[in-house]
Amino acid sequence: MATALQNLSSHDASTVPQGNGKRVGIVVSEWNAAITGSLLRGACETLEKYGIAKDDIVIKYVPGSFELVFGAKTLIERANVDSVIILGCVIQGETPHFTFVCNGVTQGTTDLNIKYDIPVIFGLLTTDTLEQAKARAGGIHGNKGDEAAITALKMMALNNLLMC
């Protein structure tokens, strides 16, 4: 398990670019709200720590994880953002629904990254159990929201570098 090898919240601060002047959209699934709320807190705290103003973090909620892609597309097209982070949590159940949702969000995020010149960051937890989700939303494995925010900062910096 990759997460067991590295804490999701661990990072070398010297490698994280500052985000001053940037605007970040975050789309959050309301499904599994206790988990996604923790992911959101982690993402926002990390973005602010690295210079993103609170007013430059645009947060929008969608009903479930499958709707994250449309939410991200909407923010890209209408909110003048430099990056979008999707945050959701899908927990394996008794039906193949888990697989369809996870595959759809993964492919949709990939498609957005190809179509637009704005990085869309994949912050979807795909776990077998609620305990695994809790461990990755501020628990023993850190917070995927922190990791998604760091990724957004690094990808915005890369995008700026390549656009010059």
Q: State yes or no: is 11 an active-site residue.
A: no
d(C-alpha 134, C-alpha 161), whole Å: 36
- Backbone φ, ψ for residue 8 (5° rounding): -60, -25
Q: Residue 5 is which amino acid? A: L
In terms of DSSP bridges, do strands 57-62 and 120-127 run parallel, antiparallel, or are they unpaired? unpaired
DSSP 3-state of 56? helix
Six token digits for residue 99: 């697989």
Q: Produce one character per residue of 86-96: b if its CB has 16 or more CB atoms within 10 Å, e if not.
A: bbbbbbeeeee
Q: Residue 102 is which amino acid? A: C
Catalytic residue among 6, 10, 97, 131: 97
Six token digits for residue 36: 């996604």
Active site residues: 97
